[in-house]
């Protein structure tokens, strides 16, 4: 029985010591690391960044009233070593989302046996993008600009009841380009909260299912988090 109590006391003491050490490490990460970031003139060279974000889309199509729908994206970025105010990086992101819109006057959309007259559309899409990122600044707030190409694997125009406007349902993918502006707010030396807005240039005229004489574009706004790895390699 005595040995049992001694074992419990040893376990409790070990747990207390472990918690104390862990608390000290967390405090170092959330205070010292941030203080070091604030005091160094640098953005984030030699960072490998993993990002997950979500937000909304706004379709710029042949339907007069753009609808607000959803988008989610995730991917990674690699920033190169730098001692200057700006840091160059590359990134790859995958996205899944939806575009919507409406029109006061009915439009004949789609093709073949699936074509019909509609006043609202919904188009789901999936895409991948790659490009360059330039991050600016110091301290805890890092603005950035990004640009590059994106490829929509497939998109599926439908009416507001999710009835497909084409047969087969999925349209053939296309390659186009985009531009983005965003800001990262560092919460610790390894975690940031992000906001961003992006303009996607369309290369097709049937994202909304309706053919006219101009291509359909869309914008998106997202918020989310990034994990910044290898921050101990920062070049000052």
- DSSP code string of 17-52: HHHHHHHHHHHIIIIIHHHHHHHS----TT-EEEEE
Q: How far is the C-alpha of 70 from the C-alpha of 102, rounded, in Å? A: 16
Alpha helices in 28-158 (DSSP H): 33-39
The pLDDT score that the predictor gives to residue 45 is 60
| pLDDT for position 56 | 98
* Mean pLDDT estimate for the chain: 81
pLDDT tens digits for range 50-106: 999 999 999 999 898 999 999 999 999 998 877 778 889 999 999 999 999 998 888
pLDDT at 180: 98
Strand partners, 49: 77, 228
- Residue 160 is classified by DSSP as T
- The three-class DSSP label of residue 14 is helix
Residue 232: per-residue pLDDT: 52
State how far the Cα of 22 lies from the Cα of 14, in Å rounded to an integer.
Answer: 12
Q: Which of 1-15, 79-93, 109-123, 207-221 has the lowest mean pLDDT?
A: 1-15
Cβ atoms of 117 and 108 closer than 8 Å: yes
CA distance 218 to 222: 13
Q: Which residue has the tokens 């330039």?
A: 134
**What tens digit of pLDDT does each residue of 168-225 get?**
878 889 999 999 999 999 888 788 999 999 999 988 888 988 888 889 999 999 999 9
The mean pLDDT of 8-36, rounded to a whole number, is 44
pLDDT of residue 120: 92
The closest of 146, 115, 150 to 133, measured between CA atoms, is 146
Least confident of 41-50, 101-110, 113-122: 41-50
Q: What tokens were used for 68?
A: 């607000």
- Angstrom distance (rounded) from CA 1 to CA 22: 31
């Amino acid at each position: 029985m005595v040995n049992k109590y001694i074992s419990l006391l040893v376990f409790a003491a070990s747990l207390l010591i472990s918690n104390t050490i862990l608390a000290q490490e967390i405090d170092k990460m959330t205070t010292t690391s941030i203080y070091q970031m604030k005091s160094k003139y640098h953005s984030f060279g030699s960072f490998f960044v993993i990002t997950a974000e979500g937000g909304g889309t706004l379709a710029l199509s042949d339907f007069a009233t753009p609808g607000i729908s959803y988008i989610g994206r995730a991917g990674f970025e690699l920033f190169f070593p730098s001692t200057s105010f700006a840091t160059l990086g590359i990134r790859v992101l995958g996205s899944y989302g939806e575009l919507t819109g409406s029109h006061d006057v009915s439009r004949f959309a789609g093709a073949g046996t699936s074509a019909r007259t509609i006043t609202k559309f919904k188009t789901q899409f999936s895409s991948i993008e790659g490009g360059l990122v330039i991050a600016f600044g110091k301290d805890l707030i890092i603005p950035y600009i990004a640009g590059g190409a994106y490829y929509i694997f497939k998109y599926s125009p439908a009416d507001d009841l999710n009835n497909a406007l084409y047969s087969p349902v999925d349209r053939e993918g296309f390659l186009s380009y985009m531009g983005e502006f965003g800001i990262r707010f560092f919460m610790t030396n390894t975690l940031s909260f992000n906001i961003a807005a992006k303009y996607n240039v369309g290369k097709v005229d049937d994202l909304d299912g309706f053919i006219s004489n101009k291509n359909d574009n869309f914008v998106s706004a997202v918020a989310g988090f990034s994990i910044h790895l290898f921050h101990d390699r920062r070049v000052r």
